[in-house]
Amino acid sequence: MITYDAALWDVKHQVVLEVARLAWEGKLDEGRDDIAGKLIPGPRAQFRCCIYKEREIIRQRVRLAEGKCPSGQKSDNVVQVISAACEECPIASYLVTDNCRKCIGKACQNSCQFGAISMGGHHAYIDPTKCKECGKCAQACPYNAIAHLERPCRRVCPVDAITYDEYGVCCIDEKKCIRCGACIHNCPFGAIGTKADIVQVINAIRAGKRVVAMLAPATEGQFGPDITMASWRTALKKAGFADMIEVGLGGDLTAYAEAREWAEAYKEGKKLTTSCCPAFVNMIRMHYPTVAGNISTTVSPMCGVSRMVKEKDPDAVTVFVGPCIAKKSEAKDHGIEGNADYVLTYGEIRSLMYAKDIELEPEEDYSQAASVYGKRFGDSGGVTAAVEQCLKEQGEDVHPQVMRCNGAAECKKALLLMKVGKLPADFIEGMVCEGGCVGGPSKNMMVAEAKKYRDGLIGQADDRQVFENLKMQGADKVPMHRA
């Protein structure tokens, strides 16, 4: 279950806000060391054992907000552990509770094949050094006296990338981590965070560069029924951005290019996966490398819009804004030419604006940058709907069967079937976040509510074909494949 503790969120965002304020003022170098004392004035601790530990956590959060590793180590992973904040949750997955009656039958002890269970003075005891976490003891206990106490960060990681050091502090295996960000918002201590590009973006604006914001399709509706794309454009221009472009237009670009690729693959009998979800692509490359050749060569909507901007102005700085953590790793993938320079989450972009006292305000939106298919590209099943529409527009008599994977578990199942050659469908649409991008780890609102507001904002004006929209926006000539 995702942690939405107000106090925890307040601490996280106060740090990013302070960093943003100092960056706007050009005083970050001399002011960063004062942030911890300002936010944790003392003399009493608010959350931890002492103010000194709380201040150390703030210092590590400041480093993350600057795009650095929190403890000074070297790592390219965008997801990082704030070691000072990790509260060393119990490592043992199975623990005997006071419900144990130390019964004569010893069902738990008899079920254990590893000799990990012994009878103590008051109840059974599980030796964590011998326990293999098979769970048979918990199943055998007639009193339900054995509890499964898996740590929340480890429980939600879909690829088993979470381990612990000898002190019980969380560690992330970078060779397994797909950068989905699920662990970040499930840790009740806020001990896992992500590197931010907020300082680099502010510095680019202050340097007078042409910085263009690119808003994810999931943005529409995330901030209520009155905050439109026009609201965002106005606020971002006040903050110093040269322009704002909807990545829903990139959804149209990706769908149209991917439809051609799907049609060709379908005729050849080749099965493909989508390529727009970076966590899904990371999952394939790291955990199912034998099917990496089946990833669509079409670039993501973020990359498509960035290429469009850079074709007109090679010196422009492109900044993607959305609910996705994995987009940060995609932007740092130097093998994808013309991709976004920086990525900001909703919390980070709002801190950037709040630091200049800029708020999102209701505003009517009379523009239409994307078709309805592009605007819904971030839904689970949205990519398939868009591609199927494009196949019709391209006159292809192709009706492929698509396995729409909503969440990491469904993605893993489909990829395993593809790996062993038993995938019943022709294509896989993979979305690691449940609900699609709309349900991303840094979303501002729950999926159902955000979709309701988004669909209300779209209205009827979006009922146009994808290719017609691309031609109207002058985007139909953008190169949409990886080199």
Q: Distance between CA 476 and CA 307 in Å, rounded?
A: 12
Give all domains of the chain, ordered by start, each with its CATH number: 6-88+156-196 (no CATH), 94-148 (3.30.70.20), 203-473 (no CATH)
| Structure confidence by residue, pLDDT tens digits, 265-294 | 999 999 999 999 999 999 999 999 999 999
Q: Is the dihedral of CA 185, 187, 190, 195 positive or negative?
A: negative
Residue with tokens 């578990």: 409
What is the enclosing helix (H) or strand (E) of 213?
Answer: strand 211-215
The pLDDT mean for the chain works out to 92
For residue 71, what pLDDT is reported? 85
Beta bridge partners of 183: none
What mean pLDDT comes out for the span 322-346?
94
For residue 1, what pLDDT is reported? 45
| Structure confidence by residue, pLDDT tens digits, 159-171 | 999 988 878 889 9
pTM reported for the whole predicted model: 0.91
Give which of 272, 327, 279, 270 is closest to 295, Cα–Cα: 272
For residue 121, what pLDDT is reported? 83
Type of residue found at 34: D
Cβ distance 212 to 318 under 8 Å?
Answer: yes
Give which of 21, 22, 62 is closest to 40, Cα–Cα: 62
Give which of 279, 3, 17 is closest to 151, Cα–Cα: 3
For residue 5, what pLDDT is reported? 58
What mean pLDDT comes out for the span 133-155?
90
Residue 322 has pLDDT above 60, yes or no: yes
- Report the SS3 class of residue 231: helix
Residue 462 has pLDDT above 60, yes or no: no
For residue 112, what pLDDT is reported? 95
Among the ranges given (125-129, 202-206, 327-331), the one the predictor scored with the smallest mean pLDDT: 125-129
Widest distance between CA atoms in the chain: 79
| Structure confidence by residue, pLDDT tens digits, 290-316 | 999 999 999 999 999 999 999 999 999
What is the enclosing helix (H) or strand (E) of 215?
Answer: strand 211-215
For residue 88, what pLDDT is reported? 66
Cβ distance 181 to 343 under 8 Å?
Answer: no
For residue 472, what pLDDT is reported? 85
